[in-house]
Amino acid sequence: MKRHISYNPFQHKDSMSSNSTADNLCAPGDQLCIVREHLQAVIIVPTLLLLLSLVSIVAVCFLRYCPERKRPPTTSSPRYHSSTYRHQQRHSHRNHLQGIDAPPGINPLEHEELPMSVQQVQQNVRPTLAAVPPTSTERRNGDFSQITALPLSFSVKCNNTYTLYRARKDSRAAILRVLKETANGREKQEFLDFAAFVSGLGPHPFLPELLGVVSVQPPLMMAVEELQHRDLLGYLWKCRQQGNSGSESSCEMTEKRIFTMAGQVASALEYLHSQRCIHGNVGSRSVLVGGDLTAKLWGFGSAYRRRTQAVSPGEVGDIEMRKWQAPEVLGGKVFSQSSDVWSFGILLYEMVTLGDPPFTEYRAAELLQYLQRGKHLKRPTTCSNSLYSIIRNCSHWRTEQRLSMSELIRTLQAGEKSANGRKVLKVAQPLDIEKYLREAGYGEAYNYTVL
C-alpha cells in the first residue's frame, strides 16, 4: 500500500523565523491557522506599499503637468523691496501712482506710504559701490520753509510741467522741483520716474545731494541741495565781467582751479559710468558750483531719457548742445563713455576761455564735416600746453584714441600739482549774450550728412 505524502509550502525547511513562529502557534496540518498568521506580512503590507507608490506617482504627475497658479507675493512688513516684483509691475498702466505701479524705489505696496531710498556709497573722491542699508529720502511738504520762486536764467528754463523754487530744509538751502497741479497722469508718472532715477544713482561727493522727495501727497516735489554759485557757465561769465570792469573780483579762476574742478567733475563722471549711466550732456551748463568752488555734475535729463524712453541711436535730446557732442553722436551713432570724454574736453575749453562756446567759427550744421577733415579745437591764448594737451587727447576722432576716464583722472591729478595757482585768468572780450547764442548754435536747423 502506497503512503500518501502531502507537501506544505509554509513549512519548507523552516528557513524563516516567521514560519517557525507560525508552526509553533498552529497545530500540525492546520492550514487555516497558518494563513491567518502570515496575512499581515504576505498580503496587507505589500498592498499598502503598492497603494503608497501609486499615490506618489499621481502627485508627481499633477505637480509636473498641471499649470501653476500665479500668486502675488505676500509680505508681513510694509518695507517690501523685491526688485523682481517691481520689475514685473513697472510697465502696468493703472491710474494711481502710489501703489504697486509706482517707479522702482517708490511705494511698492498699494495704500502704503513708503519712502524712496537711495543706495549709499563710500564718501570719497572715487567711491566704491559697497552696499549698506538704504537711507530714506521721503519727505513731507511741511519739511520745507521759506519757499520762494527761483528766478529764471540762461541755464534755468521755463518748463510746462514743473516749477522751480528756492527753499530751506533744516537750515540748508534747497532747490525744489514742484510738479504743477495741471499735470496729467503721464506727466506725474514721468516726474516720479525721474525722481526714482536720480535717487537710484546714489550719493557721491561731486553730485548734488538729493535732500528728499515728496511722492505720497500732492504737490509732488523733489528737493536737491542749492549750490551758492549755481551753474558753472554763469560763474565763468561773472569772472569775465568782473575782470573787464577793473573792480576787485570775487572770482579767481586760475589754471590750478581748473584742474581741481575738472578733476571733481571727472570723478563724478567715472562714478556714473560705473553705474552704467552715460551722461550725454557734459558742459559748463551742467556743472554746479558751491560756495567753496566745489564742482558737482548735474543735468541728468539726457541720461534719464535714454535709460527710460525709446530713443533712436545718437538722438540728442537738447538740440542746443550739439556743438558739445562727439562726432559719432552727430553722425547718428549711440552714446558711449568716450562720447562723454569728448564733451569733457570741450568743458575744459569753456573753463579756460571763461565761458566761450566751442568752434565759434563754424555753424553747428557744418561741424561734423569740419571734424571729418581732421580739424579740432584751436588752442586759446589763455591755455597752457599741459591743459591743451588734455583737451586734444579728449577730442580724437577715433573713440579708442581718446583718454579713458581713469587715464583722464590721473592726468588731471598730475597736472594739478604743477599748475599755476596764482595767475588769475582774464579774457579781454566782454560778454555778448547774443553773440554767444549765435556761436553756440542756438536756433539752427540741422541736416547732417556723413561723408
- Domains of the chain, start order: 141-226 (3.30.200.20), 232-440 (1.10.510.10)
Distances (CA, A) of 298 to 149, 287, 399: 20, 6, 24
Give 373-412 pLDDT, tens digit per residue: 988 999 999 999 999 999 999 999 999 999 999 999 999 9
Determine how many CB atoms are found less than 10 A away from the CB of residue 310: 7
Cα 127 from chain centroid? 15
If 0-12 CB within 10 Å is exposed, 13-18 middle and 19+ buried, where does residue 402 land? buried
Spans in the chain with pLDDT lower than 50: 1-7, 9-16, 18, 67-135, 445-451
Q: Quick one: 270 exposed, middle or buried, by C-beta within 10 A (0-12, 13-18, 19+)?
A: buried
Q: Distance between alpha carbon 196 and the CA centroid of its chain, in Å?
A: 9
Distance, in Å, from the CA atom of 127 to the CA atom of 120, rounded to the nearest integer, reads 10
Res 252: pLDDT:
84
Q: What is the CA radius of gyration of the chain?
A: 37
Tell me: the pLDDT tens digits for 26-80? 777 676 777 676 666 667 777 888 888 888 888 887 777 664 444 444 433 333 3
Confidence at residue 79, expressed as pLDDT on a 0 to 100 scale: 34
Cell numbers of 127, please? 567711491
Burial of 359 (0-12, 13-18, 19+ CB in 10 A): buried
Taking the model in full, what pTM does it have?
0.69
Q: Alpha-carbon dihedral of residues 265, 268, 274, 275, nearest 10 degrees?
A: -130
Query: Beta-strand (E) ranges in 115-217?
Result: 117-118, 135-136, 145-149, 162-169, 172-179, 210-214
Contact status, residue 173 vs residue 183, Cβ threshold 8 Å: no
* Cis status of the peptide bond prior to 219, with omega within 30 of 0: yes
Distance CA 393, CA 440 (A): 22
Contacts of 202 (CB under 8 A, 6+ apart): 118, 119, 120, 121, 275
Question: What is the distance between the alpha carbons of residues 170 and 142, in angstroms, rounded to a whole number?
Answer: 11
Those residues whose C-beta lies under 8 Å from the C-beta of residue 85, and which sit 6 or more positions away, are 73, 108
What is the rounded distance in angstroms from the CA atom of residue 273 to the CA atom of residue 338?
Answer: 10
- pLDDT value, residue 309: 73
Cα gap 438→323, rounded to integer Å? 12
Which pLDDT belongs to residue 446? Answer: 43
Strands (E), 95-181: 117-118, 135-136, 145-149, 162-169, 172-179
Question: Which residue from 89, 302, 309, 93 is spatially nearest to 186, judged by alpha carbons?
Answer: 93
DSSP, collapsed to helix, strand or coil, labels residue 96 as: coil
pLDDT for 441: 86
Residue bearing cell 502675488: 72
Grid coordinates of 388: 591743451
For 370, left (φ over 0), alpha (ψ -120 to 50), or beta? Answer: alpha
